[in-house]
Amino acid sequence: MEEIVLNISRCAETGALVASWDDPSGFGGLTTQAYKLSELEENILDAIAVHFDPEELPSRVRLHFVDDPVLAAA
C-alpha cells in the first residue's frame, strides 16, 4: 500500500487527539489517541507497525485534520 490517510479529531469528552483509519478491505483499521501531537505521531507509527506486515507497510502516512487547528495569537 502506497499511502494511508488517518483522520485526526478531538475527543469531545477528554480533549485528546484521536487518529483513525478504516481498512478499505473491511477488516478493521487503526485507532489511537494522545494529548500531544508528537505523542500521537509516535502512537500512529506504533499502531501501523502492529497492523501491517513488514512487506505491506505504507510508504506514506497522511494526517487529515477534521477540524482545523486554531492558534491563539495573544
Per-residue pLDDT at 27: 80
Per-residue pLDDT at 59: 94
Per-residue pLDDT at 50: 94
DSSP assignment of the chain equals --EEEEEEEE-TTT--EEEEEE-TTSS-EEEEEESSHHHHHHHHHHHHHHHS-GGG--SEEEEEESS-------
Q: Is 2 left (phi over 0), alpha (psi -120 to 50) or beta?
A: alpha
Per-residue pLDDT at 31: 97
Residues contacting 26, CB < 8 A, separation 6+: none
Going along the chain from its start, the domains and CATH numbers come out as 3-65 (3.30.2390)
Per-residue pLDDT at 1: 76
**pLDDT profile of the chain (74 residues), mean per 10:** 93 95 89 97 96 94 88 84
